[in-house]
Structures are given as C-alpha cells and as structure tokens.
C-alpha cells in the first residue's frame, strides 16, 4: 500500500539526515517531541537536539502526505466495516460520542434514537454513562472466556473517558436463529467425527498396551535387548516424553482447532471443507500429531525396557552421581568409632560442598553440633537395649521435634504398647484361672449337696421323717445345677454369636413393666422400691424382642440378688439425639445400692462367673452381666456398668426405631 511505501521513505530520509547531524550549528538546537516515530525505531541519533525540528520542517510535505494516507486508510477501513455491519440481517447498531453518530437505523436526528428500542430485542448490548448492560447478562453466561471478554470490552470503553459515549447493539430473532442454526451445523459436523475419534483412541490405547507388554525381547542369554535410545539418561527420556506429550499435544490441539475454524466454521458461516487454510492446518496437525506420537512412543517403550531390565534407576544421571559420591564417602565412614565416623563424614561433605573460605566455619559448626546428635543417638540405643532386655517401663527422653526425638517417641510408644499387651495377657490368664476356679466352685457346691443328701436318703431310707426335707433340698440343688448349666451354655452361645437375631420394633418401657410385673413377688419380698423416670409414654428400639427381654430379666435379677434390702432402685429411660444426622439412641439406666462392698473393677465385674460377692455365698452364677453384655452387642447396642462407691449402675444403649431403619 501507499502508506507502507511512504513509511519506508520517511524512515530512509530520516537516516540520511542522521548521518549529516554534525552539519547543523549548535545554536539552533531545540528539543521537539514527535510521538508518531519513537526513538526505539529510528535510533538514538534521532533524539539529538535540533534533528527532529529540522527533519519535520524539511519534510513537511511528505509527513502531511503520510498523515493524509493514514486518514484515508482509516476512513476506508471504517466504511468497509460499516458496510459489513449494515449487511448483517437482523442486527442493529447505534454509536455516538457527543460529536459524531453512526447507526444502521433510518432516523432523522439523534434525539430519535432511544435505548428502549434496542431493549425490546431478544438480545442486546448497551453501553451508556460508562456502564455496560447485556442480555443475556455476562454473569448468566456459562463460558468463562466470554465473561472475561465482556469485562475487557467494558474496560476498553471506559478507557475512552467520554461520558457522552453511547453504543447500542441489538439482535432480532432471525439473526439469533441463523447463528443457532450455524452453530448446530458446525456441532453436527464435529460430532460426526466423535465415533471415529473414540475408536481411534481405543485402538491406540490397545496398541500401546500391546507394545508395552511385548517390548523388551530377550537375547540368547536371556537378557533384555538394549538399544541406543535406551542408553540415554533416564531424566532425558522423561523430559522428552513430557515435552512431546505436552508440547506436541498443545500444538496439535491448536492446529486442529484452526482446521475446524477455517476449514468448517468461521464467523457464523459454513465454509467449504477444502479451503486452503483448513487443508494447511489439517495437514500440519496430522504431521505434528504423528511425529509427536511416534517419538513419544519410542521414548515410552525405551523407559519400559529399562524398567524390565532393571536399568531405570541405574541409568539415571542423578543416581550415577549420587552413587559415585556415596562410594567415595563410604570408605571414610567404615573406620573408627561412631563419633569419628559421623564427624568425618560430615566434614567430608562440608569440604565438598562449601567454599574454601566457609569450610572452617562449617567445620566448627559440625564439631559443635555433631556430638549432641551422637549423644541423642546413644541415648536411644540405650533405651532400645533396655526394652530388649525386658524393661518395658523405661522411657527415653524425647522433648524435641527432631528426627531422633520422633524416633525416641516411637520407641517409647512401642514399649508402652508392649507393656499394655503383656499386662492384658496377664490379666486374661488370671481371669481364665478365676473362671475355672469359679465354675468349679459353682458347679461343685450344688453337686456336693446332691451327693450328700442322696447318701443320707440311702442310709435313713425314704420312710424316715427327714426324707421330705432331703428331697426338697435335692430338688433345689438340682434346679440350681440345671440353671448354672443353662447359663453356661447361654453365655457360650452369646459370646460366639451363635444365637439367631431377629431385629424388629420393640417397645422398651412395656418390656420393663412386664419384667417388674413377673418379678413382683420377689420385689415385695426384697423390700426394694423401684422408681421409673421417663419423659414420654413409648420408647421404640430396633432389637430382638426375646433377647432384649433376657437382658432386662438379667438386669432385674441382678438387682434383686445384690441390691441393699429396703433401698430404692432407679430405672431411667431417655432418647438421645444422634449427631451429624445419625439415628437417635434409646438409653436405659438401672441404678441401685449394693448390699456388699463393691471393691472390684467395673470391667472385671462383667467377666464370666465374676460376682460382686467375692465369697460367692449368694445364689447368682456371675453370668448375668456377661450374658447381657453379649446379647446387647448382638443387637448392635452398647452395654456398660459403672461403680461409684456402693452405687451400681448398668447402662444399655440401643438404636431407636425409625421407619427408614427398618427397610
């Protein structure tokens, strides 16, 4: 174009004047700014005093001509753009800056243009009073790129700093329908390639897996064959794979995008598939994709072969360097005591890594701090020896956060856990011994009575006056022996989980009242007063009715056996809300004062054949609480007992019944 030629002439003319700079007298020197032609283009001589003013005066005609050409070109561009806008069907625009006005509407004056006319359209853009309004609004657009574009457009318009600037755009239904149809056509055109693309991806993936599995053939000696590419450092191979996959993929994606943009769909119109831009971009995309995939595959298979051959780490440059350093330092590390080894090793590393000037400083620091670390190590070593020799209560001092302190804490935790495990094992052994002793005692007592009274009957005969008394005692002891045997089997079944469980809706308060009713004679005989505290009339739980009845029966029986005569027994029922949306629980608490001194741990009291009455003179078997605990566990509940002086409390917690939990 003429403007480009004039621009070149202007530049060459300036250079000729720059070469003759010294011919101008110094008294005529003045500084004139020429913003159209910056110093960065014309060199430093252009800023010399007087050059710009003389250049502008000597070439005023050429400069004016260039300005006219630039204005003409801008006018031509404006008219071309305006013509294209006017040719768009269904699109209307209006723009005014307070002086000039352009619009596609047929109006006689500026006052005839109203933004309300544009706001009637189904889609519009209005910039007025330094505010941008759109329909649809930018915030309603899901595409983040368009939101950024709208914000950038508003910032660009605001940069004009013209309060009178008005820009109205509107799009009618026909325009939008045309764009939607064009977008649908382009989308359909792209979707046609999706099956082929998916098939290609699957085929490529299958081929890659096949090549990975089959690569690395062995030679006659059974060794995997190594090629020249496999001898490259592992880091170089990984970098090459990353560069080819990321860089090649990025370039391939851009070229593919250009192919669709210029070969299929551009500026709202369908282009011929055989356009030059589309063919060129498509060809380059195929070339780049094939080249990147081939080279990337070669390096991937090389890495796989190195992995199969066990050369992946050995072929690493970092590994080779570190191995060389380690082998050199190892010779120093093997000699002398532990103190000398660490100090010598640290000094050697300092001499390798530090400068000559800083080496003495680093050596002084090593000599100062290394003994402290070695002392900590020796303390840990002593602690390990103590634990190894059976002193599980020994604690290594660990009051810091360093690696050695963390190691010491770990050893302390191991010794503590081992000590707890041993104490638990000793406790279990003691409980097993007590179990055997208690079972033998409880079974032997009624059996001895039975044998004794049978001998008396044999000696005195059934006709003696004491025979009915003997028979009654035999009946009681046999029932007692039967009850002990049944409890023993029930405890074994409950502990092993062999009892079938049928979860259903059970009303807990009615079950307690039923138990109190059936044991009313024993309650009256004991003189106990039962107090029931509830907050509502019904408490439904998800449980097995028969098993829950057995739990309640055992708890009430335990109270009747061991509670202080004439005291009160409190039965509390309440519902506890679940946390974080979990199902609520129903909690049963039964509290009483023990007639015997409770000098036993609560956990031991739930063990089998364990009684609060250590003399074992009462009729209980010591299995009631153990059976209750196992039965509650089978119903997905929780059971515990608490002892506070002579106050005994049993707590049962079961899941509250809800319709959704029963499904």
Q: Which residues contact 137 (CB under 8 A, 6 or more apart)?
A: none
Range with the poorest average pLDDT among 178-182, 494-498, 608-612: 608-612
Rounded CA separation 42/18 (Å): 9
- Residue 242 lies inside a defined structural domain of this protein: yes
Domain boundary among 118, 145, 171: 171
Q: Are residues 23 and 151 in the same domain?
A: no
Q: Which helix (H) or strand (E) holds 375?
A: helix 359-388
Residue 334 exposed, middle or buried by CB count within 10 Å (0-12, 13-18, 19+): exposed
Q: Are residues 311 and 334 in the same domain?
A: no
- Residue 417 lies inside a defined structural domain of this protein: no
- Name the one residue in this structure whose structure tokens are 């022996």: 481
- Name the one residue in this structure whose structure tokens are 């003319």: 13
Q: Which of the four pLDDT bands, split at 50, 70 and 90, describes residue 396? A: confident
pLDDT tens, position by position, 468-483:
887 888 887 787 777 6
Instruction: Count up the domains in the chain and report the number.
Output: 5
Q: Which helix (H) or strand (E) holds 649?
A: strand 647-655
Rounded CA separation 99/96 (Å): 7
Please report, for residues 240, 251, 292, the alpha-carbon distance to residue 295 in angstroms, rounded to integers and kept in the order given.
Answer: 9, 15, 5
* DSSP-derived pairing of the beta strands 585-593 and 540-543: unpaired
Helix crossing, 276-309 with 248-263: angle to 10°?
160
Range with the poorest average pLDDT among 182-196, 246-260, 605-619, 639-653: 605-619
Q: Are residues 12 and 28 in the same domain?
A: yes
Q: Where are the alpha helices (DSSP H) in 461-541?
A: 467-496, 508-518, 520-526
Question: Is the CB of residue 450 less than 8 Å from the CB of residue 481?
Answer: yes
Q: Are residues 285 and 346 in the same domain?
A: no
- Predicted pLDDT at 21: 34
Q: Which of the four pLDDT bands, split at 50, 70 and 90, describes residue 570? A: very high
Rounded CA separation 277/266 (Å): 11
Question: In this structure, what CATH number is given to the domain that contains residue 615?
Answer: 3.30.565.10
- Predicted pLDDT at 342: 63
- Predicted pLDDT at 358: 63
Domain boundary among 315, 336, 359: 315
Q: Which of the four pLDDT bands, split at 50, 70 and 90, describes residue 428? A: low
Q: Are residues 511 and 585 in the same domain?
A: yes
> Which pair of tokens denotes residue 310?
């066990």
Verify cis geometry, omega within 30 degrees of 0, for the bond prior to 136.
Answer: yes
Rounded CA separation 79/447 (Å): 121
Question: Is the CB of residue 56 less than 8 Å from the CB of residue 34?
Answer: yes
Is the pLDDT at 15 greater than 50? The verdict is no
Provide mean pLDDT across the span 573-582.
Answer: 77
> Which pair of tokens denotes residue 80?
């071309």
Q: Are residues 505 and 640 in the same domain?
A: yes
Range with the poorest average pLDDT among 13-27, 35-49, 289-303, 386-400: 13-27
Residue 121 exposed, middle or buried by CB count within 10 Å (0-12, 13-18, 19+): buried
pLDDT tens, position by position, 300-343:
888 888 888 888 888 888 888 887 767 656 655 555 555 556 66
Where would I find the beta strands (DSSP E) of 485-525?
504-507
Is the pLDDT at 22 greater than 70? The verdict is no
Provide mean pLDDT across the span 358-378.
Answer: 70
Q: Where are the alpha helices (DSSP H) in 100-233?
A: 115-119, 144-158, 173-191, 194-214
Q: Are residues 626 and 523 in the same domain?
A: yes
The mean of the pLDDT values for the chain is: 75
Rounded CA separation 436/422 (Å): 21
Q: Are residues 138 and 215 in the same domain?
A: no
Rounded CA separation 410/416 (Å): 10
Please report, for residues 173, 265, 417, the alpha-carbon distance to residue 184 in angstroms, rounded to integers and kept in the order given.
Answer: 16, 11, 69
> Which pair of tokens denotes residue 633?
């566990």
Which of residues 292 and 17 earns the better pLDDT score?
292
Task: Tell me the torsion sign for CA atoms 450, 456, 461, 464.
Answer: negative
Which range of 294-303, 393-402, 532-541 scores highest in mean pLDDT? It is 532-541
Verify cis geometry, omega within 30 degrees of 0, for the bond prior to 82.
Answer: no
Which structural domain range is residue 595 located in? 499-662
**Phi, psi torsion values for 571, nearest 5 degrees:** -120, 115
Which range of 22-36, 241-255, 366-380 scores highest in mean pLDDT? It is 241-255
Is the pLDDT at 249 greater than 50? The verdict is yes
Range with the poorest average pLDDT among 109-113, 205-209, 509-513: 109-113
Rounded CA separation 244/452 (Å): 98
Is the pLDDT at 490 greater than 80? The verdict is no
Is the pLDDT at 120 greater than 90? The verdict is no
Which among 186, 345, 158 has a CA at the least distance from the CA of 261?
Answer: 186
Length of the chain: 663
Q: Are residues 104 and 51 in the same domain?
A: no
- Residue 81 lies inside a defined structural domain of this protein: no
Provide mean pLDDT across the span 50-73.
Answer: 85
Please report, for residues 144, 191, 195, 204, 577, the alpha-carbon distance to residue 200 in angstroms, rounded to integers and kept in the order given.
Answer: 31, 15, 8, 6, 57
Helix crossing, 234-242 with 276-309: angle to 10°?
150
- Residue 404 lies inside a defined structural domain of this protein: no
Provide long-range contacts, Cβ within 8 A and 24+ apart, for 257-265: 258/285, 259/285, 260/186, 260/190, 264/186, 264/189, 264/190, 265/182, 265/185, 265/186, 265/189
Rounded CA separation 488/626 (Å): 10
- Residue 514 lies inside a defined structural domain of this protein: yes
Cα distance from N-terminal residue to C-terminal residue, the chain: 84
Is the pLDDT at 146 greater than 90? The verdict is no
Q: Are residues 633 and 532 in the same domain?
A: yes
Rounded CA separation 493/498 (Å): 5
- Residue 632 lies inside a defined structural domain of this protein: yes
Q: Which of the four pLDDT bands, split at 50, 70 and 90, describes residue 365? A: low
How many other β-carbons are positioned within 10 Å of the β-carbon of residue 66?
Answer: 19
- Residue 207 lies inside a defined structural domain of this protein: yes
Domain boundary among 315, 334, 367: 315
Where would I find the beta strands (DSSP E) of 44-151?
91-96, 101-103, 123-128, 131-135
Rounded CA separation 585/574 (Å): 9
Question: Is the CB of residue 122 less than 8 Å from the CB of residue 172?
Answer: yes
**Phi, psi torsion values for 531, nearest 5 degrees:** -115, 120
Q: Are residues 250 and 283 in the same domain?
A: yes
CA atoms within 13 A on the CB side of 173: 1
Q: Are residues 328 and 361 in the same domain?
A: yes
- Name the one residue in this structure whose structure tokens are 């110093």: 39
Full strand arrangement of the beta sheet holding 123-128: 101-103, 91-96, 166-171, 123-128, 131-135
Model pTM above 0.75: no
- Residue 470 lies inside a defined structural domain of this protein: no
């Amino acid at each position: 174009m003429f403007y480009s030629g004039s621009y070149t002439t202007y530049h060459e003319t300036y250079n000729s004047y720059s070469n003759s700079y010294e011919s101008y007298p110094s008294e005529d020197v003045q500084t004139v700014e020429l913003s159209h032609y910056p110093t960065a283009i014309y060199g430093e001589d252009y800023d010399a005093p007087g050059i710009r003013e003389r250049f502008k005066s000597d070439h005023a005609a050429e400069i004016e001509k260039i300005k006219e050409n630039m204005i003409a070109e801008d006018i031509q561009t404006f008219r071309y753009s305006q013509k294209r806008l006017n040719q768009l069907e269904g699109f209307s625009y209006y723009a005014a800056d307070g002086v000039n006005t352009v619009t596609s509407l047929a109006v006689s004056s500026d006052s005839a243009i109203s933004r309300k006319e544009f706001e009637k359209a189904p889609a519009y853009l209005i910039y007025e009073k330094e505010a941008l309004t759109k329909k649809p609004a930018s915030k309603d657009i899901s595409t983040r790129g368009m939101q950024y574009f709208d914000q950038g457009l508003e910032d660009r318009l605001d940069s004009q700093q013209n309060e009178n600037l008005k820009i109205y755009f509107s799009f009618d239904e026909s325009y939008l329908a045309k764009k939607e149809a064009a977008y649908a056509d382009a989308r359909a055109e792209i979707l046609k390639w999706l099956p082929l693309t998916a098939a290609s991806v699957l085929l490529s993936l299958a081929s890659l897996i096949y090549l990975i599995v089959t690569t690395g053939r062995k030679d006659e000696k059974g060794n995997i064959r190594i090629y020249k590419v496999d001898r490259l450092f592992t880091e170089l191979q990984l970098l090459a794979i990353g560069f080819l996959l990321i860089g090649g993929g990025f370039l391939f994606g851009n070229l593919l995008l250009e192919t669709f943009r210029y070969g299929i769909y551009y500026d709202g119109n369908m282009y011929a598939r055989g356009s030059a831009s589309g063919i060129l971009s498509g060809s380059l995309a195929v070339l780049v994709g094939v080249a990147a995939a081939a080279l990337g595959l070669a390096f991937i298979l090389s890495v796989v072969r190195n992995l199969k051959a066990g050369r992946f780490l050995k072929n690493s440059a970092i590994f080779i360097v570190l191995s060389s350093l380690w082998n050199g330092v190892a010779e120093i590390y093997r000699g002398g005591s532990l103190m000398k080894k660490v100090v010598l090793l640290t000094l050697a590393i300092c001499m390798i890594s530090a400068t000559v000037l800083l080496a003495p400083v680093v050596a002084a620091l090593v000599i100062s701090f290394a003994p402290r670390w070695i002392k900590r190590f020796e303390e840990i070593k002593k602690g390990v020896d103590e634990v190894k020799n059976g002193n599980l209560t020994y604690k290594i001092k660990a009051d810091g956060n360093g690696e050695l302190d963390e190691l010491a804490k770990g050893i302390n935790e191991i010794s503590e856990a081992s000590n707890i495990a041993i104490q638990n094992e000793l406790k279990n052994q003691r409980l097993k011994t007590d179990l055997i002793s208690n079972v033998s005692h409880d079974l032997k007592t009624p059996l001895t009575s039975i044998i004794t009274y049978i001998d008396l009957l044999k000696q005195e005969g059934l006709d003696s006056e004491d025979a009915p008394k003997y028979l009654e005692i035999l009946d009681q002891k046999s029932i007692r022996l039967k009850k002990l045997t049944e409890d023993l089997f029930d405890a074994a079944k409950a502990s092993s989980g062999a009892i079938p469980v049928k979860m259903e809706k059970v009303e807990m308060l009615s079950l307690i009242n039923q138990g109190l009713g059936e044991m009313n004679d024993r309650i009256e005989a004991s003189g106990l007063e039962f107090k029931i505290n509830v907050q509502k009339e019904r408490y439904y739980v998800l449980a097995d009715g028969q098993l829950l009845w057995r739990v309640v029966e055992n708890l009430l029986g335990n109270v009747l056996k061991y509670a202080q005569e004439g005291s009160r027994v409190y039965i509390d029922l309440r519902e506890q809300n679940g946390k974080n949306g979990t199902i609520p629980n129903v909690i049963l608490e039964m509290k009483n004062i023990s007639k015997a001194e409770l000098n036993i741990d609560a956990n031991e009291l739930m063990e089998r054949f364990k009684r609060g009455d250590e003399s074992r003179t009462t009729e209980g078997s010591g299995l009631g609480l153990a059976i209750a605990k196992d039965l509650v566990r089978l119903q997905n509940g929780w059971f515990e007992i608490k002892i506070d002086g002579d106050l005994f409390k049993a707590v049962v917690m079961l899941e509250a019944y809800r319709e959704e939990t029963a499904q």
